[in-house]
Amino acid sequence: MRRTFPQGLGLVLLLAALSLACLSPLTLVREWRLQRSWQATLEGMASQEQGSSPSAPVPEVTVKVSPALQAGAPDLEGLLVDLYQRVSPGVVAIRVYGGQGPSMDVPLDFELPTGQGSGFVYDKEGHIVTNYHVVADGEKFEVVFANGDKAWAEIVGVDQGSDLAVLRVQDVPESQLVPLPVGDSDQVKPGQIVVALGNPFGLRGSMTLGIVSARGRTLPSEQMAQQGGVFSMGDLIQTDAAINPGNSGGPLLNLEGEVIGVNRAIRTDGPVRGNVGVGFAIASNWVRMIVPELIRSGEFVYPYLGIQARDDLPLAVIEKLDLPVDYGVYVVEVVPGSPADRAGLQGAETTDSPHVIPPGGDLIVAINGYPVYTFDDLISYLVTKVRPGDTVTLTIYRDGKKMDVEVTVGSR
The question of whether 248 is a catalytic residue gets the answer yes
**Architecture of the structural domain at 303-411:** Roll (2.30)
In this prediction, residues 377-385 reach a mean pLDDT of 89
Could you tell me what percent of the chain has a pLDDT over 70?
73
Q: Are 122 and 128 in contact (CB under 8 A)?
A: yes
CATH 2.30.42.10 occupies which residues in the chain?
303-411
In this prediction, residues 20-27 reach a mean pLDDT of 38
Predicted model pTM: 0.74
What phi and psi, each to the nearest 5 degrees, are found at residue 2? -80, 130
Determine the Cα–Cα distance for residues 258 and 252; give it in Å rounded to an integer. Answer: 8
Whole-number Cα distances in Å, 171 to 135, 146, 151, 154, 357: 20, 17, 7, 12, 57
More confidently predicted of 12 and 226: 226
CATH 2.40.10.10 occupies which residues in the chain?
86-176, 185-297
Whole-number Cα distances in Å, 70 to 93, 375, 380: 38, 39, 36
Give the model's pLDDT for residue 225.
67
Q: Is the pLDDT of residue 152 over 70?
A: yes
Look at residue 46 and give its three-state secondary structure: helix
Whole-number Cα distances in Å, 205 to 147, 195, 328: 10, 12, 42
Active-site choice (88, 127, 159, 163): 163
Active-site choice (118, 127, 133, 232): 133
Q: What is the pLDDT of residues 361-379, one digit of tens each?
A: 999 999 999 999 998 899 8
The question of whether 284 is a catalytic residue gets the answer no
Give the model's pLDDT for residue 99.
65
Question: CATH for 185-297, among 2.40.10.10, 3.40.50.300, 1.20.1630.10, 3.40.50.2000?
Answer: 2.40.10.10
Angle at 278 between CA 213 and CA 99, to 5 degrees: 130
Active-site choice (88, 232, 248, 380): 248
Q: What is the pLDDT of residues 94-127, one digit of tens each?
A: 999 986 544 445 444 447 888 899 999 999 999 9
pLDDT band at 20 (very low <50, low <70, confident <90, very high): very low
The question of whether 163 is a catalytic residue gets the answer yes
Q: What is the pLDDT of residues 317-345, one digit of tens each?
A: 999 999 999 999 999 999 999 999 999 99
Question: CATH for 86-176, among 2.30.40.10, 2.40.10.10, 3.10.200.10, 3.40.50.2000?
Answer: 2.40.10.10
